[in-house]
């Protein structure tokens, strides 16, 4: 069992729709006056082209491990973090679907904004999940080329 005195983490990778309320709930703490969340959704345009849907491919064991590492790095930078909850979707997502939810709680709001931003920014740099955009006339792996 994890040490319950440490800030608990919810780390999830799923091919099912993300229950946003459940992720927010997982970040709540009686010791926190602030819960901050980032919700990433699938938008219908990318660099001027109409996006039909997105395909997320993950390397699950490493993605979960690296997600946990990102959360642990946030806990080192913001020791006042009470809870961290991250859920990332993979598979095929339609426009408007929720791709990722990051939720954190801290006693005061400034830390929770900062920690939440750090987690989503770092996640996008290191967690092995790949996004393929599907247009009307083809597909492109996002960020693959210079």
Partner 1 sequence: MNLTVSLFGIAREIVGQPSLTLTAPAGQSAAGLLAELRTAYPALAGLRSLAVAVNNEYAAANVELHERDEIALIPPVSGG
Q: Which residues bind partner 1 (CB under 8 A)?
A: 40, 56-59, 61-63, 65-66, 88, 99-100, 120, 123-132, 141-146
Minimum distance of partner 1 from residue 107's CB (angstroms): 27
Residue 120 CA to residue 34 CA, distance in Å, equals: 17
Give me the least distance between CB of 5 and partner 1, in Å please: 26
Distance CA 96, CA 71 (A): 26
Q: Which helix (H) or strand (E) holds 39?
A: strand 34-41
Nearer to partner 1, 75 or 140 (CB): 140
Residue (13 or 34) nearer to partner 1, CB: 13
Which C-beta is closer to partner 1: that of 65 or that of 77? 65
Minimum CB separation of residue 46 from partner 1 in Å reads: 11
Spatial distance between the Cα atoms of 88 and 79, rounded to a whole number of angstroms? 24
**How many C-beta atoms lie closer than 10 Å to residue 76's C-beta?**
8
The answer to whether 88 and 64 are in contact (CB under 8 A) is: no
Of 5 and 144, the one with the shorter C-beta distance to partner 1 is 144
* Minimum distance of partner 1 from residue 103's CB (angstroms): 14
d(CA 32, CA 81): 8
């Amino acid at each position: 069992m994890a040490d319950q005195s440490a800030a608990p983490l919810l780390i999830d990778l799923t091919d099912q729709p993300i229950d946003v309320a459940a992720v927010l709930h997982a970040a709540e703490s009686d010791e926190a006056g602030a819960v901050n969340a980032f919700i990433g959704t699938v938008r219908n345009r990318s660099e001027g082209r109409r996006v039909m849907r997105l395909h997320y491919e993950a390397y699950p064991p490493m993605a979960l491990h690296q997600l946990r590492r990102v959360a642990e790095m946030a806990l080192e930078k913001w020791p006042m973090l009470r809870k961290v909850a991250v859920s990332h979707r993979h598979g095929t997502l339609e426009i408007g679907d929720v791709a990722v939810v990051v939720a954190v709680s801290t006693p005061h709001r400034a830390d929770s904004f900062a920690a939440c931003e750090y987690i989503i920014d770092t996640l996008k740099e290191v967690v092995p999940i790949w996004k393929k955009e599907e247009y009307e006339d083809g597909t492109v792996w996002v960020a693959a080329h210079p």
